[in-house]
Structure 1
């Protein structure tokens, strides 16, 4: 459970923004989405490799 202390006179929007940021960092939403459907390990590995290739391609293009 996430606890966000609110300081005296703090805007509720700012506190909500801190909550959302903290929630994203925990990875709870990604974990729930991943558990919805089973993916074979080979499919997950292939996705990781494709992502790595994409990132490498961007870095190569940036260095040129």
Structure 2
């Protein structure tokens, strides 16, 4: 359960922003979307490999 302590006099918008940030970090929404459909293991491996190549190119460009 996510708990966001709200100080007295603190803006509700700021508290909502904190809640949204904490909720996003938990990864619940990502997990739910991922589980909505089944991906074959070979497809998952292919996506992971493509992502690794992409990240490696970004790091090479950074250097």
TM exceeding 0.5: yes
The equivalent of 1:56 in structure 2 is: 56
Poorly superposed stretches of 4+, deviation over 3 Å: none
Q: Determine whether 1:38 maps to 2:33.
A: no
Q: What 5-or-longer segments of structure 1 have no aligned partner?
A: none
Partners of 1:16 and 1:30 in 2: CA distance = 20
Alignment deviations for residues 15-36 of structure 1 (CA, whole Å, 9 cap, x no partner) = 0110011001100000110111
- TM-score normalized by structure 1? 0.90
Q: Return the TM-score normalized by structure 2.
A: 0.91
Correspondence for 1:13: 13
Distance of 1:47 and 1:19 partners within structure 2: 31
